[in-house]
Structure 1
């Protein structure tokens, strides 16, 4: 599929026809990133602004379920990002087969150096927050190749970011933050019903490791822009991704110091 076709399906929330799912971008991840960058350029040309990134498939416990066995990444847009103080409303209009993921989001203060260490990445973080990412796919029944997920905007649809905490109020080093996040638990509720539970270590051994992996991979991707101050990066789900519908309310609860986060879908 051409970048123009991918964007047209995105705009109309239409599934990709089987006949169009042909070519190197369905099997070759490196080619898929170049196609994804072309789609990004089309969106920027019409006035959309990338405000950060999402990292997907960092949770190894769900790799087998979805048939994708390595992380992916793609942009978050000014039109898909919502900030809140603990409770937010997200519109699902225009999404395709949406699902919900509880994540940890980082706010970036500085561009990391080339081939950074964990401590280098930590030094470039300003804040972190609980988040909900709404993910989607334009492939029927959530059946896809890894390359197709890259072309399909890394499956990003929406991002709700909750209360933001200065990172140095939580930890004074990358190793300390890594340990704290890896050990933290999340409980995911739909209404009052507990739906799923997870732990930070599910996400490539911890969200800071996920951020490190992403930075290194993006630096190796030809034509990819550098991570910059002001960007947000959401680091992947701690649980499975759960189907959602308008009218629902979901809540995540994590160990201290993270506040609960509630999302209402319309």
Structure 2
């Protein structure tokens, strides 16, 4: 019998203490449903400390990553208001900070079905996610990363724009004025809208609904790159402007 609360506490303590731990699967038999139970228990610990749910982040949204991890579906994690980085990220509070460009969706009303989710969107924006695995050497299995809330750490977004087709938007990630990554939103399952629908599907299956004001991060269009200290980062998306953050 897996002690879900114990595993959630192990991950939560590692994040709060900024230290690495061995993979949970090194000493625990962990399947995907149980890993999501650990994830939810970790979010509940945050909620008890006063954090509020703020949205959903999607992971493994590239076919190459799915193949690498031996899966045929995306994974997801939950965002809280404490993860929002409006202008800066204190990387000294993180273990393995990495950043990636994102397409962000703003949910305008409660989503009751997968077919309902696209019409519930009231805005799209360029965004970023800072990943931070708590596992030693950034090494993990599929259940490990799910339990660790899909490596969610921080996120941000630029100005909101009316809903539009973002199926092939060019994205540029710059660190200190130098190009770190370029890509297209088409790398996100061929169209970020597919990731948006997957977010609704997975949330509903878990007994959650996407709520007004929540953000959905559709997944990265490029690989994540290390986020250094004392850096200026800018993510630009064609037609959506840019978002900047310092460390």
TM-score by length of 1: 0.84
Are 1:24 and 1:31, in contact at CA under 8 Å, matched by a contact in 2?
no
Which of these residues, 180, 183, 187, is aligned with residue 195 of structure 1? 180
Which of these residues, 2, 9, 18, is aligned with residue 14 of structure 2? 9
Distance in 2, matches of 1:22 and 1:50, equals 31
Number of the residue aligned with 2:149? 153
Post-superposition CA distance 1:153-194 (Å, at most 9, x none): 210110111111132xxx3xxxxx2xxx12211122222322
**Paired residue total:** 241
Are 2:11 and 2:134, in contact at CA under 8 Å, matched by a contact in 1?
no
Q: Does 1:22 align with 2:27?
A: yes
Deviation at 1:63?
A: 4.1
Distance in 2, matches of 1:205 and 1:5, equals 36
- The answer for unaligned runs of 5 or more in structure 1 is 172-176
Are 2:117 and 2:197, in contact at CA under 8 Å, matched by a contact in 1?
yes
Distance in 2, matches of 1:211 and 1:97, equals 27
Deviation at 1:139?
A: 1.4
> What is the DSSP-based 3-state SS (H/G/I as helix, E as strand, rest coil) of the residue aligned with 2:93?
coil
Distance in 2, matches of 1:123 and 1:68, equals 32
Distance in 2, matches of 1:241 and 1:82, equals 17
Number of the residue aligned with 1:259? 241
Distance in 2, matches of 1:68 and 1:246, equals 33
- The answer for unaligned runs of 5 or more in structure 2 is 1-5
Distance in 1, matches of 2:178 and 2:189, equals 28
Are 2:126 and 2:236, in contact at CA under 8 Å, matched by a contact in 1?
no
Distance in 2, matches of 1:164 and 1:46, equals 29
Alignment of 1:22-61 (within 5 A): 22-25=27-30, 28-61=31-64
Say what the alpha-carbon RMSD is for the aligned residues: 1.9
TM-score by length of 2: 0.90
Are 2:174 and 2:235, in contact at CA under 8 Å, matched by a contact in 1?
yes
